Amino acid sequence: MAKYRKLSRTSDQRKALLRGQVTALLHNGKIVTTEAKAKEVKKIAEGLIALAVKEKDNFEEVTVKAKVARKDADGKRVKEVVDGKKVTVYDEVEKTIKKDMPSRLHARRKMLEVLYTVTDVADGKKRNAKEVDLVAKLFDEIAPKYVSRNGGYTRIVKIGTRKGDGALEVLLELV
C-alpha cells in the first residue's frame, strides 16, 4: 500500500503543490481544496505544527550590541562630512535577541524546507510589500494555541462537489 497519494502528478509537481498549499494554510488559516489534496496537506501541516509546539520555548535571550544608523525626523539617515566625504552616523544600541538552541534551529530549518516565502502586499502596491516570516509565526502565534492539544490541529469540513469536474471540495482549516 502507498504511503501517500500521487495526485496524478510527477513528484516535483506534487511537492510544489503541497508546499504551496501548506504555506497558504499556515498563512491564511484555511484553504479550499479537494479532499485528496487536503488529506495530504493535513499530514504535512500537522507535522510542522507538532514540531513548532515541541520546540516553542527552546531558546535563550541574549543581549547584543548593534550599530544602527541615526535617523532624522523624516526617517532619513543623518550624514556628516568627514575628510570631504559624506559619512553616515551610527549609534550603538543594545538589543535582546532570541538565540535558538540546536534542536530548535534544526526544527526551523526543517520547516524552511517545506514552506515558501510569503509576501503581504498592502494597498495593492508592490513597494509596500512585506515579507512574512512563517516560521516565526509558527513558533510565536500558532504553537502557543496548541500546547494543550495532542495532535488534531487541523479540521476537514466537506463543502460539496465542484461544478466543473464533480470533485469533492473541502475546507481545510486550523482548529
Summarize pLDDT for 99-126 with one digit per residue, the tens.
999 999 999 999 999 999 999 887 777 7
DSSP bridge pairs for 168:
161
Query: What phi and psi, each to the nearest 5 degrees, are found at residue 69?
Result: -65, 135
pLDDT of residue 125: 76
Residues belonging to the chain: 175
pLDDT of 1 reads: 59
* Predicted pLDDT at 122: 79
Architecture of domain 11-58+101-174: Alpha-Beta Complex (3.90)
70: left (phi over 0), alpha (psi -120 to 50) or beta: beta
Mean confidence (pLDDT) of the chain: 93
User: What mean pLDDT is predicted for residues 85-107?
Assistant: 93
pLDDT, mean of residues 22-43: 97
pLDDT digits (tens, 9 = 90+) for 128-167: 788 999 999 999 999 999 999 999 999 999 999 999 999 9
Encode burial over 75-112: b for 16+ CB neighbours within 10 A, e otherwise.
Answer: eeeeeeeeeeeeeeeeeeeeeeeeebeeebeebbeebe
Q: What is the pTM of this model?
A: 0.84
- Site of grid cell 520555548: 57
Mean pLDDT of 28-50: 97
Strand partners, 154: 174
Select the more confidently predicted residue: 2 or 43: 43
Per-domain residue ranges of the chain = 11-58+101-174, 59-100
Q: Tell me the C-alpha to C-alpha distance, in Å, between residue 126 and each of 20, 115, 119.
A: 21, 22, 10
